[in-house]
Amino acid sequence: METWSEFATYGDAASAEVIVGLLRSENVPARIVSDAPMPGLMHGFCIMVPAAMLRRAEWILSQAQLTDAELSYYATGQLGDSNSPR
C-alpha cells in the first residue's frame, strides 16, 4: 500500500484544484482531502501526494511560482477585482 503525504493546504477548492492539475500534468499523482468535520463546514483543502514524490512535487511548485492572482485567475477565469469593469 502506497503512503501519501500532505503537500499543501488551501482555503478554497479551486486553488487546490489548480495545483493538483499542475502536479498531474507533471506525472505526480495528487488528490484533495477536505478537513471538513461535516459538509458545509470547510476549513481547508489539503493536497496529498505519494510520499516518494513529495520532493518532486515541491520542486514543481517552486518552478511554477504562481501568485495568488494567478491562482484566482486559473480557478475562476476572472482577472483582478471582480468589481472592476472589463
Instruction: pLDDT band for 81, please (50, 70, 90 cuts).
Output: low
Q: In this predicted model, which residue has the larger pLDDT, 12 or 56?
A: 56
Q: Does 4-76 carry CATH code 3.30.365.10?
A: no
pLDDT of amino acid 84:
44
pLDDT above 50 (res 86): no
pLDDT of amino acid 36:
65
Closest CA to 50 of 2, 1, 14: 2
The model's pLDDT over 17-70, given as tens digits with 9 standing for 90+, comes to 889 988 998 999 999 998 666 666 657 899 999 999 999 999 998 888 777 777
Handedness of CA 67, 79, 7, 54 (dihedral sign): negative
Cell output for 50: 505519494
- Written as one letter, the residue type at 68 is D
User: What is the spatial distance between Cα 42 and Cα 39, in angstroms, rounded to a whole number?
Assistant: 7
